[in-house]
Amino acid sequence: MAEDIFSLNKPLKKSQVLLRTIVLIFSVAFGVHICSICVKQSNTLTDGEPLGIKVIDRPCCDDGCDKTQIPYLHYPKPETFSRAECACHPVRLFVIISMQRSGSGWFESLLNSHLNVSSNGEIFLVHQRRDNMSSITRTLDRVYNLDWLSSASKNHCSAAVGFKWMLNQGLLEHHDEIVEYFNRRGVSIIFLFRRNLLRRMVSLLANSYDRYAKLFNGTHKSHVHSPAEVALSLSLSLSLSLSLSLHAEALLKFKPFIDSSSLMNDLKEMELTAAKALEYFRSTRHIFLYYEDLIRDPTVRTKKIPSELNANPQKLADVQEFLKVPLMKLTSRQVKIHQGSLTELIWNWDEVNKTLQGTTYESFLGADY
């Protein structure tokens, strides 16, 4: 042990001295290299442009959010405008799924009377937008990113944005992909159908007649937005045009012919189509409405001159709660043209009445809505 201690005082061998010298030189060289790099970086920060530091925005939905609602809260960043102070105002996505002449136009006008709701009409009425799933997805993305500009757009501070989608506009053909899109994006569905399919058929035939006859000054008018537009000629004010009064009178007097031989099959087909849609989209977040239930009091209505429809306030409150928007009074100027007893609306009423008597559709004959 003593020999080991005293051995420290012995002179080092030449090989050890050389090795330590090499290590020392390498350490000094490495230190000089590091110092030069630091000096260069210091000069760069002093003489060059300031570093572009990207500030990460604070999430709009903090700990105060309802965790169950997060999948349905969206914060779009439109390409066509800036949401500015409303950037952190959440937007909910919805779609109204319906069939033609089921009250969807009236219902949509009610929704659009809300300050924070934008429903953009039948965007898939144009075939090119529904040629395939790629075109459908592009169209949906534009709508839900608030880049679909229409008269209904509220833009900056919209709380809910959507549109109408009819069952015959590519919805059922691509239902699997659309369901996946809706569930992934958190799109809520409002199903709106008509309980009385016979009255829907009357409205379809009358609308088809007007489309080809173009009674209103050479144009087709699918909806009427004022009681004056459907008033009889004698009650028209002098300011209304003659063409408007003639159009209103023609709409009131037209009685469609219904093919009684295919009537049962036609009604069943309508039912099956609606049932198919409900089955396809049952995994989505949705609410189901009947047009008849939206009407406050369908029996109190003028027989000759159609009046503005009165919506059921409780049903509209349910819809607003479903969309999670502030509760407001919703209004519409649209009116119902085909009202009153079906005996006055169907040209071959006796045949239709005989065909449906004793069937599951017999109740359609007497319902006044």
* CB count in 10 Å sphere of residue 227: 16
Residues 118, 147: contact at Cβ < 8 Å? Answer: no
Q: What pLDDT is recorded for position 63? A: 59
d(CA 276, CA 210): 30
Q: What is the pLDDT of residue 216?
A: 47
Residues 102, 117: Cα–Cα separation, whole Å: 21
CB 182 within 8 A of CB 189: yes
Residue range 173-191: average pLDDT?
98
pLDDT confidence of 97, banded at 50, 70, 90?
Answer: very high
pLDDT digits (tens, 9 = 90+) for 224-283: 555 544 444 334 444 444 444 455 556 667 899 999 999 999 999 999 999 999 999 999
Give the count of alpha carbons within 13 A of 369, CB side only: 20
Closest CA to 75 of 94, 93, 63: 93
pLDDT of residue 55: 40
Q: Could you tell me the two tokens for 144? A: 């839900």
> For 283-307, what is each residue's pLDDT tens digit?
999 999 999 999 875 555 544 444 5
> How many beta carbons lie within 10 A of that of residue 244, not counting itself?
20
* DSSP per-residue string spanning 22-44: HHHHHHHHHHHHHHHHHHHHHHH
Which of 67-81, 163-177, 201-215, 263-277 has the lowest average pLDDT?
201-215
What's the order of all strands across the beta sheet hosting 160-166? Answer: 117-122, 160-166, 92-98, 187-193, 286-290
Alpha-carbon distances, residue 208 vs 100, 203, 204, 220 (angstroms)? 11, 8, 6, 9
Share of residues in the chain with pLDDT > 70 (%): 70
String of b and e for 177-214 (b: at least 16 CB within 10 Å)? ebbebbeeebbbbbbbbbebbbbbbbbbbbbebbeeee
* Token couple for 347: 């040209």
Return the minimum-mean-pLDDT range out of 44-58, 128-142, 179-193, 310-324: 44-58
With cut-offs at 50, 70 and 90, classify the pLDDT of residue 153. confident
Element (H, E) at 278: helix 263-280
Residues 45-53, mean pLDDT to the nearest whole number: 46
**Residues in CB range of 106: below 8 A, 6 or more apart:** 223, 309, 332, 334, 336
What pLDDT, on a 0 to 100 scale, did the predictor assign at position 56?
Answer: 46
Residues 83 and 90: their CA atoms lie apart, in Å, by 11
Q: For the residues of 196-244, what is the DSSP string, one character each?
A: -HHHHHHHHHHHHHHHHH-TBTTB-------GGGG--GGG--TTS-HHH
Q: Which is more confident, 154 or 327?
A: 327
Q: Contact, 117 vs 160, CB < 8 A? A: yes
Q: Are 352 and 256 in contact (CB under 8 A)?
A: no
Q: Which domains does the chain have, with CATH numbers?
A: 70-196+266-338 (3.40.50)
CB 284 within 8 A of CB 188: yes
Q: Is the pLDDT of residue 2 over 70?
A: no
Q: pLDDT band for position 43 (50/70/90)?
A: low
3-class secondary-structure state, position 172: coil
Residue 107, amino acid: F
Mean pLDDT for the stretch of residues 329-352: 88
Predicted TM-score of the model (pTM)? 0.76
Place of tokens 């009357």: 202
